[in-house]
Amino acid sequence: MGFDIPMKTTLLTVGLALFMSLCAHAQEKLSVGWSIYPGWQDNALMGLKLEPGKPSFLERRTKEAGAQVEIHKFKEYTASIDALVAGKLDAVTLTLSDAMGIPLDSGVPVTCILINDYSNGNDAIAAPKGSKFEDLKGKSILCEQYSVSQYLIWRALQIKGQKSDFVTFRNTPGDECSKVFLTAVNTASPVTVATWNPHILRIMASGKAELLFTSKEIPGEIVDMVVVRTDRIKGRENAIAAYVKAHYDVMKYLTDPATKERAIRAMASTSELTPADAPLFSEMLAATHFYYTPEDTIKFMESPELKAQHDRIRTFLKEVGAFKGANPDSYQVTFDTSFIKQVK
């Protein structure tokens, strides 16, 4: 005998509800891309089993949330951002300036769910020993175009009261700047460069360089963060919250006197520095201002200072011709502290 109509309807309803539930559960999966930098090494640590017999921070948090988080390491920073724009990632680590200059300028709205840190000396302008800022007049500075290095020069000129034509730029990949500097420093044609660590530390280790301006002089301006494609937030809220909680688990591990050294060693081991450069990692950490607690992060993310910096970055990118879109004045990174407020 077949089922009667009410029975068939009930089974269909139950089956549909189960299917919808499974689909909703399957959506709770977040993919995050990151590249090597002290402020982003938490992405490596949250997936490591740092304590024998205990799950990783990410395992624990995703299990609590009933969600999945996939962490993808990229050797090339720009490639990770391109993957976000192409829709191959849901989230990525990047600077505030690159959030505006790449995803937003490509028509992809992004929401910042977490600010990791700001550069507090990791970025600098380096010139031959004995140089002064005034000596740069009419000279070229090697730096990567539209990068935080060019922003650093732009801000240095403002603070020193100089016009934009005080110096000229030679577009040079940031990773190459230290090599070029160290090769030319003993010749008749030494160069001035703007780049980031560990390249600045290598340059200074030569004993033949002078730092003319560093990010320590503009605290809170070169901001490192995590953004999610705004169109990928819905349906991934639990996964995002789990990721953010795992981040703060790492921050606690990094600041706890009992585990701090172990955390630093783990960070250095995942940074892919050469054995010779590994000792530089602690110096890079010292030049990074972390937001260790949810309270400190929320305070900064909701501050008028961050809003002012957001607008300053947009002005910089407009002035140097970085934007290709038709209406860059409308570009706005959204800052959402709701996931940080769930951390307990």
Paired tokens of 248: 């703060």
Give pLDDT tens digits along the chain (344 positions): 444 545 444 545 545 554 444 444 454 899 999 999 999 999 999 999 998 999 999 999 999 999 999 999 998 999 999 999 999 999 999 999 999 999 999 999 999 999 999 999 999 999 999 999 999 999 999 999 999 999 999 999 999 999 999 999 999 999 899 999 999 999 999 999 999 998 999 999 999 999 999 999 999 999 999 999 999 999 999 999 999 999 999 999 999 999 999 999 899 888 887 776 777 888 999 999 999 999 999 999 999 999 999 999 999 999 999 999 989 999 999 999 999 999 98
- What is the gyration radius of the CA atoms in the chain, in angstroms? 23
Can 7-120+221-342 and 123-217 be said to share one CATH topology? yes
Paired tokens of 171: 């577009």
Determine the Cα–Cα distance for residues 327 and 331; give it in Å rounded to an integer.
8
Return the CATH superfamily for domain 7-120+221-342.
Periplasmic binding protein-like II (3.40.190.10)
User: Helix axis angle, 294-301 relative to 304-319, nearest 10°?
Assistant: 60
> Residue 321: which residues within 8 A CB-CB, separation 6 or more?
none
* Domain layout of the chain by residue ranges: 7-120+221-342, 123-217
Q: CATH top-level class for 123-217? A: alpha beta
